[in-house]
Amino acid sequence: MALRAALLSSLLLLCAVRRFGLCCPSRCLCFRTTVRCMHLNLETVPAVSPQTTIDLRFNKIKDLQPGSFRRLKNLNTLLNNNHIRRIPRGAFEDLENLKYYLHFNNIESLEPESFTHLPKLERFLHNNRITQLVPGTFSHLQAMKRRLDSNSLNCDCELLWLADLLKQYAESGNAQAAATCDYPSRLQGRSVATLTAEELNCVPRITSEPHDVDVTSGNTVYFTCRAEGNPKPQIIWLRNNALNMRDDSRLNLLEDGTLMIQNTRETDQGVYQCMAKNVAGEVKTSEVTLRYFGAP
């Protein structure tokens, strides 16, 4: 009789969440709607009931599949201290109550779509191997507090958007949000929030400027303009504050930024200016003049 009671008790414990659609995963501990699967060397995410709160910390999960946590709306703590390398799109859909996330993993890169519809996500990615973050990665994380430190962030011009975001957090009173540089060596340990476009040589810098030109009818004119910056700046030419090169086949922008005007006419005369522009800013040269003298 006692043996029968023990077996019945074990069965009830294993299937505590059967009424929600699934039994307790093997070796996990289940109580009502809580499933604890810590320290089990799991390599995949087990299937559980949609009403379940599952704890998967301290395992060996490496890969996630889209929809791995679909409908787990009660989940608030997820996958810290695993071996996760990447996050596919849709891996965390429906986790509207998720707060604590993916710290102490092996994540190297992220996609912006990984973090949509996670309004309560606060602290999540410290102690990983992230080197780069694309603009917009955290644009949906209204509750983000911390943190991105202890990664391998390469602090270059591509990370300026994160510096601006962290400054906004600090100004709004959220000083906990933090990220530090790992590369290059001169910036190692530096707070990303303190980076400027100037010290990273991101803002365009003019290296060769155009000069005034005198021209007669039918000749070819070259206005030189070269610039450096990261990312490489776009060269834009202005004439009397506007220049539409698409409507005139005589106007050509050469690969090095030089403006070439073929078969010059009287209508070409005026004031010209070169502008170099990228995401970090823009800079203009001094104005120069094309003077037209008609026939030779």
86 compared with 290, residue with greater pLDDT: 290
pLDDT classification of 52: cutoffs 50, 70, 90: confident
Least confident of 61-75, 163-177, 198-212: 163-177
- For the chain, the farthest-separated pair of C-alpha atoms sits apart, in whole angstroms, at 119
Q: Is the alpha carbon torsion for 135, 113, 110, 178 positive or negative?
A: positive
What integer pLDDT is reported at residue 71 of this predicted model? 76
pLDDT classification of 230: cutoffs 50, 70, 90: confident
Q: Which pairing describes strands 34-36 and 53-55: parallel, antiparallel, or unpaired?
A: parallel
Q: Which two tokens stand for residue 72?
A: 């787990």
3-state SS class at 162? helix
Contact 240, 270 (CB under 8 A): yes
Least confident of 45-54, 155-164, 198-207, 246-255: 45-54
Q: Is the pLDDT of residue 142 over 80?
A: no
pLDDT classification of 143: cutoffs 50, 70, 90: low
Would you say how long the chain is, in residues? 296
Q: For 128-143, what is the mean pLDDT?
A: 78
Q: Tell me which residue of 52, 20, 25 sits closest to 37, measured CA to CA.
A: 25
SS (H, E, C) 88-157: CCCCCCCCCCCCECCCCCCCCCCCHHHHCCCCCCCECCCCCCCCCCCCCCCCCCCCCCCCCCCCCCECCH
Q: Is the pLDDT of residue 288 over 90?
A: yes
Least confident of 17-21, 89-93, 150-154, 189-193: 17-21
What integer pLDDT is reported at residue 273 of this predicted model? 97
pLDDT classification of 66: cutoffs 50, 70, 90: confident
Q: Is the pLDDT of residue 80 over 80?
A: yes
3-state SS class at 213? strand
What integer pLDDT is reported at residue 5 of this predicted model? 43
**Rounded CA separation 187/184 (Å):** 6
For the chain, what percent of residues have pLDDT higher than 70? 84
How does pLDDT run across 162-197, given as a tens digit for each residue? 888 888 877 777 656 678 899 999 999 999 989 988
Q: Is the pLDDT of residue 12 over 50?
A: no
Least confident of 6-15, 96-105, 189-198: 6-15
How does pLDDT run across 233-280, given as a tens digit for each residue? 999 999 987 788 888 999 999 999 999 999 999 999 999 999 999 988
Please report the domains of the chain, with CATH numbers, ordered by start residue: 61-196 (3.80.10.10), 205-292 (2.60.40.10)
- Please give the distance of CA 169 from its chain centroid, rounded to a whole number: 16
Q: Is the pLDDT of residue 14 over 50?
A: no
Q: Tell me which residue of 90, 84, 95, 85 sits closest to 114, measured CA to CA.
A: 90
Edge-to-edge strands, sheet with 34-36: 29-31, 34-36, 53-55
What integer pLDDT is reported at residue 260 of this predicted model? 97
What integer pLDDT is reported at residue 170 of this predicted model? 76
What integer pLDDT is reported at residue 147 of this predicted model? 67
Q: For 19-24, what is the mean pLDDT?
A: 60
pLDDT classification of 292: cutoffs 50, 70, 90: very high
